[in-house]
Amino acid sequence: MAGGEGRRLRPLTHETPKPLLRVGGKPILEHLLVRLKRSHVDRVTVAVAHLAPKIEAYFGAGTDRGMHISYLHESIPLGTAGALAQLDDFDEPILMVNGDILTDLDFNQLVIKHRSLNAVLTVASKVSMTNLSLGVLDVDSNGMVAAYREKPRLEHRVGIGIYVVAPEVKEFIPVNQPLDMPDLINALISAGKTVACYDHSGNWIDIGTPDEYARVEEHHWLGNGFGSRVATAPAGSIS
């Protein structure tokens, strides 16, 4: 998914699409493609919109990377899930990956978990901790204080922009209409479909702001583990 305007990263993205911003001398999307190739992914569809010709010019048909890369053009912004309705060869589970993240997630293990749970969609996630600076009251249905927790540390899971999607999900996606992934997931759950979660304990970063981008370069995230592990089992295709 590489069609976003990267508004939070302006002015860096005025002339350069976010997936082409360089980390360690290579575009973000290049690092993702390298990891996917190591996981034996050789067919990639890139959904493009903002500054699409620059992405296509850089990656081309993918032959020099040992891959087949095609492009899906969004005439209107379709959100984080809407482009799936335009896939013609969506007859097997696919990997769906945001094109602006860095990670060392094992794509093969994600697919294996998805298949073992017979899920229609599996969301890759990370467990995140938030330290609150204030005390928190637990109040019962009668308005009585049941507990008072001073500056608690809360645990929650966050989606990291990586999914395995089964073909039957396509019937929940309207054609040529914007749809975001949270809305699609909630629709699947409401319909009684199985949506699974896969926790990733390794490295992951979404480069969302100029400060985050500068930090990634400064701390050499790539040298601290990104791109270092090689997966071994076939993973399928990606959109």
Q: Is residue 224 very low, low, confident or very high in pLDDT (cuts 50, 70, 90)?
A: very low
Residue 221: the pLDDT is 55
User: Which residues are CB-neighbours of 58 under 8 A, at least 6 positions away?
Assistant: 20, 27
- Which of the pair, 220 or 224, is modelled with greater confidence? 220
Q: Is residue 107 very low, low, confident or very high in pLDDT (cuts 50, 70, 90)?
A: very high
Residue 60: the pLDDT is 87
pLDDT score of 184 more than 80: yes
Residue 9: the pLDDT is 65
**In this structure, which CATH number among 1.10.357.10, 3.90.550.10, 3.40.50.1860, 3.40.50.720 belongs to the domain 7-128+156-238?**
3.90.550.10
Q: What percent of the chain shows pLDDT beyond 90?
A: 36
- Which of the pair, 175 or 188, is modelled with greater confidence? 188
Residue 187: the pLDDT is 96
Residue 186: the pLDDT is 96
Residue 218: the pLDDT is 65
Segment 33-92, tens digit of pLDDT? 999 998 888 899 998 888 888 988 989 888 888 899 999 888 788 888 888 888 887 888
Please count the residues of the chain. 239
Q: What is the mean pLDDT of residues 193-198?
A: 95
Q: How much is the pTM?
A: 0.81
pLDDT score of 18 more than 90: no
